[in-house]
A and B are shown apart, each in its own frame.
Chain A
Amino acid sequence: MAACALVTVVTTVSIILILAIETVSFFSEVSIIEFLTSTKWTPLFTKKNYGILPLLSGTLLTTAIAIAVALPLGLAIAIYLNEYASASLRAVLKPLLEILAVVPTVVYGFFALMIVTPFLKTFVPELSGFNALSPGIVMGIMILPFISSLSEDALSSVPHTLRQASFGMGANKFQTAFRVVVPAASSGIIVSIILAISRAIGETMIVAIAAGQQPRFTFDPTVPIETITAYIVQVSMGDVPHGSTAYRTIFAAGITLFIFTFILNNISYWIKRKYGAAYE
């Protein structure tokens, strides 16, 4: 059974090795300075440029939009469910909201392309058929249950004595929620936000379907862009020969993605470790 547990270690080591080896051979053909500073990414064109910045800006843009949607909604829902709603209402609503997290991402991609983009076009006529705004919003709805569920867990682990003390001082529910409970649960809430960001950065199908496939160094949400993940899908769908520089680009893009999520995951793990057990 120890061998079963070791599989997880082998997995991690293999991921890092494979990404690193292919990336090293990639950088023997492409300068690392170009990779980090060039604002053009055109490995599949005749005139090749290998700047990761356009893919990075696309990834950060869709992630920022997703968080802008998921954070206020998710927090409001978590606070409402935990501090205002009755236990029976909560028992009904929580599983319903979690349905949002089990819908496959390819289905969300369909929604972004077929429903949200046409809907947004009625307000923003200059919106392109592929854009960052619509998949960003849909991604926000997808990651919302992460924030609402995990934050609610954090809020509900705040001991009732704190609430009672606050009510005893004459505070109402709103004051108690925002001045006592939320600060007390802040580490858990921050962890939920970091995990949601990490999830959004790695999300693939929604952006592959609805954001377009045009790497562009911009933060304009109305034009077609491409994220790191969508680029890997684009190359995988075509027939790029194994061992070519174009083939290696997906590993260089992959390691960039991996580094971002790895850092975020470890920060959240560290916060959980350091502050998580405060009320247990």
Chain B
Amino acid sequence: MVRLMSNVNRLKDKVFRVIGVTSIIFCLLILVIFIAFIIYQGSARLSWEFMISLPSRFAEKSGIYTAWVGTLWVLVLTTLIAFPLGVGAGIYLEEYSPKNWLSKLLEINIANLAGVPSIIYGLLGLEFFVRIMKMGNSILAGSLTLALLILPIIIVSTREAIQAVPGTIREASLALGATKWQTIRNQILPASFGGILTGVILAISRAVGETAPLIVIGALAYVPFVPKGPFDEFTVLPIQIFNWVSRPQHEFIINAAAAIIVLLLITFTMNGIAVYLRNRWQQKISW
């Protein structure tokens, strides 16, 4: 009887090992199939012509010029807005804010904001930036919306990076007569900068892939010109892809696949840089 039980348990152990390995292989296989399909469908369409052509009614003449220029604008503006705000808030919460009900409320609030669906940020942007602030369907309105969306991610990663700096560094600096701000400026920030940067890049790569909030604030799929300033109307790569996927003609699907290759290259590059920075930073600084 005991031997039977132990055999059953050994069997369960083996079965689970197989289930675990199969699950992982299944997921990675799906990833490979998806990416192979995209490359198979889209790579032939990818050309310099495709990169510098304006959108058109004819699939073969259409390109992603307006889309990637729009994405670049949004990326730069969102970074300029979200980086100082997020890092500032992170430093404040970690270093300055007194530990009371207010700081607790801020923490709950940020945790909550991180879980608000992105499309809700779109509704906020539509009413607040587009209508009340009268920015229209501009790059600025879109960037502000996305900046608010990624702010919680930047704040949380800034706080984690600062927390990883050992207290002894802080105490040594203070003991040498440095002020609180000098300690933050000369010790804490340089030591945590790698971690902060990793978080910021990951957050921005998320913003680059966002579609829904920008559709809600009225970014258009068809913009026949390249935006020249932050108050111009715009489109971005994900919206262009959405527009092409929604069409029945096969040629537009091919265009979508080609545009997806470009979008994936951008997001994977950014994530690659973030992972590289994280590893390098962890190796360089071992307390």
Q: CB of B173 within 8 A of chain A?
A: no
Complex interface: chain A residues within 8 A of B148 (CB): 7, 11
CA distance A141 to B28 in the complex (A): 10
Q: How far is the CB of A276 from chain B (nearest CB, A)?
A: 12
Contact A1 B24 (CB under 8 A): no
Is there contact, CB below 8 Å, between A174 and B16?
yes
A143–B143 Cα gap in the complex (Å)?
26
Which of A40-48, A49-57, A91-99 makes up part of the contact surface?
Answer: A91-99
Task: Give the number of residues in B that approach A within 8 Å (Cβ atoms).
Answer: 83
Near B by CB (< 8 A), chain A positions 1-22 give 1-5, 7-9, 11-12, 14-15, 18-19, 22
Q: In chain B, residues 193-210, which have Cβ atoms closer than 8 Å to a Cβ of chain A?
A: 205-206, 208-210
Let me know if A109 and B245 touch, CB within 8 A: yes
Alpha-carbon gap, A237 to B10, bound state (A): 57
- Give how many A residues have a beta carbon under 8 Å from the other chain's beta carbons: 77
In the complex, which residues of chain A have a beta carbon less than 8 angstroms from the beta carbon of B120?
15, 19, 202, 254, 257-258, 261
Q: Is A73 in contact with B26, judged by CB distance below 8 angstroms?
A: yes
B127:A4 contact, CB within 8 angstroms: no
Which residues on A sit within 8 Å (CB–CB) of B118? Answer: 202, 204
Contact between chains at A76 and B110 (CB < 8 Å): no
Residue from the list B23, B86, B105, B112 in contact with A269, Cβ < 8 A: B112
Within 8 Å of chain B (Cβ to Cβ): is A105? yes
Complex Cα spacing A115 to B16, Å: 29
B115, CB-defined interface residue at 8 Å: yes
A11 and B113 within 8 A (CB): yes
**B175 interfacial by beta-carbon distance below 8 Å:** no
* A67 in contact (CB, < 8 A): no
| A189 interface hit (Cβ, 8 Å) | no
Q: Tell me the residues in window 93-147 of chain B with beta carbons closer than 8 Å to chain A beta carbons.
A: 93, 96-97, 105-106, 108-113, 115-124, 126-128, 131
Residues of B within 8 A of A251 (CB): 123
Name the residue of chain B whose CB is nearest to the CB of A172: B13
Q: Name the A residues within 8 Å of B34 (CB-CB).
A: 103, 111, 115
Question: CB-CB < 8 A to B93: which residues of A?
Answer: 5
Which of B37, B112, B221 has a CB less than 8 Å from the CB of A262? B112
- B112 touching A266 by the CB < 8 A rule? yes
B226 contacts the other chain (CB 8 A): no
A7-B151, A11-B113, A233-B215 known; A102 vs B268 contact (CB < 8 Å): yes
Interface residues, chain B, with chain A CB atoms under 8 Å away: 9-10, 12-13, 16-17, 19-21, 23-24, 26-28, 30-31, 33-34, 37-38, 41, 84-86, 88-89, 91-93, 96-97, 105-106, 108-113, 115-124, 126-128, 131, 148, 151-152, 155, 205-206, 208-212, 215-216, 218, 221, 238, 241-242, 245-246, 253, 256-257, 260, 263-264, 267-268, 271, 275
Q: Which residues of A contact B (CB under 8 A)?
A: 1-5, 7-9, 11-12, 14-15, 18-19, 22, 72-73, 76-77, 79-81, 84-85, 93, 95-97, 99-100, 102-107, 109-111, 113-115, 141, 144, 172-175, 177, 195, 198-199, 201-205, 208-209, 229, 232-233, 236-237, 242, 250-251, 254, 257-258, 261-262, 264-266, 268-269
